[in-house]
Amino acid sequence: MKKFAELQYVRPDMEKIFARVSGDIAVLKEAKNYEEFRNAYMDYVEADTELETSKTVAHIRNTINLLDEFYEAEMVYFNSQIPKYEILKKEMGEVIVASPFKAEMEKEFGAILIQNMEAQKQLSDESIVDDQVKEAELVSRFMKTQAAATVEFKGEQIGNYGLLKIMQSTDRAERKEAFEAWAKLYEGIAPTLEEVYDGLVKVRAGMAKKLGFKSFIPMGYLRRRRFDYTEKELEVFRKQVREVVVPAAAKLYERQKEALGIDTLYYYDESIASPSGNPVPIGDKEYLVGEAQKMYRELSKESGEFFDFMMEHELFDLDSKHGKRAGGYCTTLPQYHAPFIFSNFNGTDADVNVLTHEAGHAFAGFTAAKYQKTPELCHSTSEINEIHSMSMEHFAYPWMKDFFGEKADDYCYAHLADALMKIPYMLCVDEYQHKVFENPEMTTMERRAVWSGLEKIYMPWRNYAGNEFLESGAFWIKQQHIFLYPFYYVDYAMAQMGAFEFYTKMKEDRKAAWADYYKLCAAGGSMGYFDLLKYSGLHKVLEDGSVKIILKGVFEELGL
């Protein structure tokens, strides 16, 4: 493989690809033996891998420079062609699921591949095409409303992004002012966002009904490829969080209040761990990447190879620059088994997080590609792939002195505590969505009352300092997952439990912990959720009593 910047991009000939995949489908239908059948499938995989790689190259270059008209036009082209391609892919899945060679295919590639195809079939039908268009329109209205929102702050119109940094200020009065402005910004767009959400809830509930689901809950689960559990098992996890994690988090917030030297911890104090603020990295981008390379070489042979590969092929774009999209992500170029990490460094601890969390995703992708037969089998669901990334954050602790100097211990304590303190909110977001879809006819104010009630259960420490808008139960509006990715948010909490378990294991035996972690990464998405947990020696958080066992080591470390 060449360096990323030197990869040549040519627009794929979609007519040719359509013809090739249609040809493969015809062979799949007529195949006389498994070998013929398999060859046709693998030909499709090859075509798909090439297409996905070209599309990803264009996507990365587009996000690096949104002002570059060439790649902007390429993305418009892909977006116009992909729906037609998706229809072909769906047809292929249907042919495979109905084929006499299904069992042999399952034997070779694993049951998960067939399950994915069956789920796809269950989720699509002519009768919901208009609803899907409507859902996409509402989602795009949400994005536009949120992106365009501004509020007056210190005599200037400022957006959400501009406020975020001031909301981390160590000056409490300034922080308070920024949070109040932030709340006002959301209050301004709340009527639109709540109307959009009402539309989304109704259109999703309607689709579920048309497809024969009892509500949108099982349909949402199937969309997320949750084959192993239902909302009943998830409630077992929630109950454990209420009983075990909420009291522990309450203690940590109490401790934080004392550290900050304040009488009452208001909502605008929650994200500040110490009076001097959160530790900042001790060097610039070049320094941090250099330290990361040293760290990954020392951590293990495999992680060293991975990071050297990333460096050699320049598979990063980390600087913040004009025209670049905000935020960060990790993606893969399947043809080259190469991950790519995109970020906007800003001089805070978030930069280090990119080099541990996003690099954890990248390492998992790089590793799975060595062992799995197809790119699809490399991709696990987020309950698993966030374990890859979050565990790497913990594996990296011994090297934090190279990133934060004297503040390394503060950083590690705050990082571990924060990982635990975030969990109740995630479950609050999750239960809220379940309550919404159990009763899609609720009014906006009824939904706010549900949120308020749950907040008191999951975040008893939360104090909105008399802000009427937030006290009315409107905080959830800021959580874009609720609009865009129903039922997603709890995956982070489930994955964090797996990461905590690796953390505890590595304290006892680093080598053994790394070996299990490596196994999990190598398995990619080739098995279901429960099987992957078992395979890598992790507990099921959906079983009563597991959370207490998993958190034992973390509680010890935090002195809880």
- Binding footprint of Zn ion on the chain (CB under 5 A): 389
Crossing angle of helices 359-371 and 382-395, rounded to 10° = 120
How many angstroms separate the CA atoms of 90 and 227, rounded?
A: 19
Q: How far is the CB of 538 from Zn ion (least distance, A)?
A: 17
β pairing state of 338-342 and 316-317: parallel
How distant, in Å, are the alpha carbons of 205, 210, 406, 485 from that of 214? 9, 10, 56, 20
Host H or E run for residue 153: strand 150-153
Closer of 198 and 386 to Zn ion (Cβ): 386
The DSSP code sequence of 340-374 is EEE----SSHHHHHIIIIIHHHHHHHHHHHHH-SS
Helices and strands (DSSP H and E) totals, the chain: 26, 5
Q: Which residues pair with 339 in a beta bridge?
A: 332
Closer of 256 and 389 to Zn ion (Cβ): 389
Q: How far is the CB of 286 from Zn ion (least distance, A)?
A: 24
Q: Which residues pair with 152 in a beta bridge?
A: 157
Token pair for residue 193?
A: 């966002």
β pairing state of 329-333 and 338-342: antiparallel
Closer of 303 and 389 to Zn ion (Cβ): 389
Q: How far is the CB of 386 from Zn ion (least distance, A)?
A: 5
Q: How far is the CB of 341 from Zn ion (least distance, A)?
A: 11
Closer of 166 and 315 to Zn ion (Cβ): 315
How many angstroms separate the CA atoms of 200 and 437, rounded?
A: 11
Closer of 389 and 504 to Zn ion (Cβ): 389
DSSP conformation class of 6: G
Q: How far is the CB of 342 from Zn ion (least distance, A)?
A: 13
Q: How far is the CB of 498 from Zn ion (least distance, A)?
A: 13
Host H or E run for residue 150: strand 150-153
Q: How far is the CB of 316 from Zn ion (least distance, A)?
A: 16
Phi, psi of 338 (to 5 degrees): -115, 125
Closer of 389 and 496 to Zn ion (Cβ): 389
Nearest-CB residue to Zn ion?
389
Contact present, 27 and 38 (Cβ < 8 Å): no
Q: How far is the CB of 35 from Zn ion (least distance, A)?
A: 39
Q: How far is the CB of 357 from Zn ion (least distance, A)?
A: 6
Token pair for residue 103?
A: 């069992």
| Signed CA dihedral, 105, 110, 115, 117: sign only | negative
Closer of 281 and 328 to Zn ion (Cβ): 328
Closer of 120 and 389 to Zn ion (Cβ): 389
DSSP conformation class of 487: T
Q: How far is the CB of 405 from Zn ion (least distance, A)?
A: 26
Q: How far is the CB of 421 from Zn ion (least distance, A)?
A: 18
Closer of 278 and 389 to Zn ion (Cβ): 389
Closest CA to 83 of 46, 114, 117, 129: 129
Q: How far is the CB of 362 from Zn ion (least distance, A)?
A: 10
- In one letter, which amino acid is 456? K
Contact present, 342 and 317 (Cβ < 8 Å): yes
Closest CA to 382 of 219, 502, 480, 494: 494
Burial category of 305 from C-beta neighbours within 10 Å (exposed 0-12, middle 13-18, buried 19 and up): middle
Closer of 389 and 467 to Zn ion (Cβ): 389
Number of other residues whose CB lies within 10 A of the CB of residue 358: 23
Q: Beta-strand (E) ranges in 258-335?
A: 316-317, 329-333
Host H or E run for residue 338: strand 338-342
Q: How far is the CB of 361 from Zn ion (least distance, A)?
A: 6
Closer of 163 and 378 to Zn ion (Cβ): 378
Residues 6+ apart with CB under 8 A from 446: none
Closer of 387 and 459 to Zn ion (Cβ): 387
